Amino acid sequence: MPARLAHSGQPAAALAIVPWLSLIRPGDWLVILAGTLLVGTSIPLFWQGGMADRAIIRQEGKVFAEVDLRSKRQFEISGPLGTTLIAVEPGRARVVSDPGPRQYCVRQGWLMRPGEIAICAPNRVSVQITGRTKVYDSINY
């Protein structure tokens, strides 16, 4: 059975939406856009511990260095298999190279949010990102 057409030649369901859209004025669109931008920019601040501020580098379970994420530095950490290279840039850190066979910690890429961690298990080196507040998950809650 064909859809019923209104006087304008459009389906009746399409006309039901049009009156609703005609009620939104340009100022309303501006408020919707501003609200969307506010929510989008606040997500990093409130999601899992706020913004990242430090990287903790561990060697064999002990803290090798605590680095402020506002600086740009590189670290070479010796482990049982060789040297692991870690890069720290403003707001992020990553394992650049590792002598481990599977390269899982290198594949983690850039760590930017509090609670993220890259573990180079064979070489016993890890990098963890922390924020001002403690991040909880189902394991440590």
Tell me the pLDDT tens digit for each residue of 54-77: 999 999 999 999 999 999 999 999
pLDDT in tens, 71-123: 999 999 999 999 999 999 999 999 999 999 999 999 999 999 888 999 999 99
Phi, psi of 64 (to 5 degrees): -85, -45
136 backbone φψ class: left, alpha, beta (φ>0; ψ -120 to 50): beta
- Taking 80 as the threshold, does the pLDDT of residue 30 lie above it? yes
Please state the rounded mean pLDDT for residues 121-136. Answer: 85
Cα 129 from Cα 22, distance rounded (Å): 48
pTM of the predicted model over 0.85:
no
